[in-house]
Each structure stands twice: as structure tokens, then as C-alpha cells.
Amino acid sequence: MSDFIVNIIHRPEMVPEYSATVTGHGKKEDIGDKKLLTESLDIFKTQQHLAHVNGLKVTIQMTYASLFNAEAVQIAKEDHEKYGDEIALSLLGLPCEQFREKYKTKDFCIWMFSMEDKKAIVNDVFEKFHDAFGFYPESTGSYYMDAELINYIKETYPSVKCAVATCWEEGPKAYHTCNNSWYTFMDGGPWAPWIPSKQNTHAPAANAAEDSGIVAIPHLSRDLMACYDGNGS
């Protein structure tokens, strides 16, 4: 192969889940902080600009929080029309004021919810996306998507063809500084695109009967040695 193929994904966080860690440093949590929102939007704009001046198309993974931000939605629409960027939907970026008010929880990891709640959240996020853009996304993702969740999304929103489904290098045996939520699901996974089984996201489908109907890709590519003591970035 002589061609180098790169997939660039930009995610307008608006309310990064990591911002919640400020409470551990003696600061009061404020997920509606205007400075935080402005900073997140500025980062997104910079990422988009740098990609486009270098002639690169990107996938814009809209978060739930960003769907409530008119400027983020407008940027995505304009860059989709002008540069051909894909507008996708991420199941990250849930911990915004609207989500907390609706679901009465500070939890935000999609894999930690009951299946009933997962379905409600997926329907909410996908329909909000459709309201903003007039179509359903062809790709989605999270740090981890279990097989039952993938099966539901594919059945309910068949336009989805691809998903960021795991975060392999942050498994408990590779990344011992992670938080406890990681330990519920991770211990390695494919390090390249694969077709996940309907029974287990980490297991590639063995045949057509096991095919979940999407192509899964891992989240990020980091220095695996550096990941042992940190996030490797």
C-alpha cells in the first residue's frame, strides 16, 4: 500500500467530563461556567482551522452538550457544506446542565447505565441530533460501547455504520492510574478496525450471523509504554 489514510475526529466538548476533577482540587464545580464553554469552543475552532488549512477533512463528533450550543451546531453545518466534513454523534459529553436536570444524575459514562436508561439516552441524543441537522448520523462512539448498546443503536438507527467502541490502551492492565469506572469493562481489545460480534464488542464477528452491522474502531492511538503511568498523550 502506498496510500496513507488518516481519520481525524474533532469533538466539541463544551463541558469536558474531566472538568469535574476541579472539585478534587478545592474548587467549586460549575459545568455552566462561561469561561469553560468559551475555551472549549475556541479549541474546537482551532482544531477545525488547522485541519482545513492543511487540506484535511475531519469527522465532527457532536456531543450532547454541543447540540445545545447554537454556535457549535452552526460551525458543524458550515464546515460540512464547505469542506465535506462528516457530522457524527458522540455519546460522550453528557455531563451538561440539561442532562443532569433531565436524568437527575451526575453519572455520564454510557456503559454504567442500565439498558433501559441507555435506550432512553440514545433516543434523546439521536433525536436531538436529528432536530439540529435534519438527518441521523452515520457514525457514533464512546470510550466503550457494549454489544447490547451497539445492537440497539443499529436496530433503531440503521444509518449508523461505524462506531468508536473501545479504548483499548486504557485497560486496567495497561493504565493503572485510571478511575474505577474503567475496571467494569476493559482488559484489552482490538487495536485496529474490526466488525464486533453481537454478543461481545471486543470479539470480532466469526461469521455473518454474529455481524453487528457496524465497523468498530478504537479510541485514540497512544504510546503504550507511556500509558502505564498516565494517559500516554
- Please, which pLDDT band fits residue 24 given cuts at 50, 70 and 90? very low
DSSP 3-state assignment of 219? coil
Measured in degrees and rounded to the nearest 5, phi and psi for residue 73 equal -65, -40
Nearest Cα residue to 217 out of 161, 176, 171: 161
Query: Which strands, in side-by-side order, build the sheet including 9-10?
Result: 9-10, 59-62, 86-89
pLDDT tens column, 154-206: 999 999 999 999 876 554 455 555 555 555 455 566 778 999 999 999 889 99
- Please, which pLDDT band fits residue 23 given cuts at 50, 70 and 90? very low
Q: How far is CA 91 from the centre of its chain?
A: 5
DSSP 3-state assignment of 182? helix
Cα(26)–Cα(85) distance, rounded to whole angstroms? 40
| 192 Rama class: left (phi>0) / alpha (psi -120 to 50) / beta | beta
Query: And the C-alpha cell for 217?
Result: 474502531
DSSP 3-state assignment of 148? helix
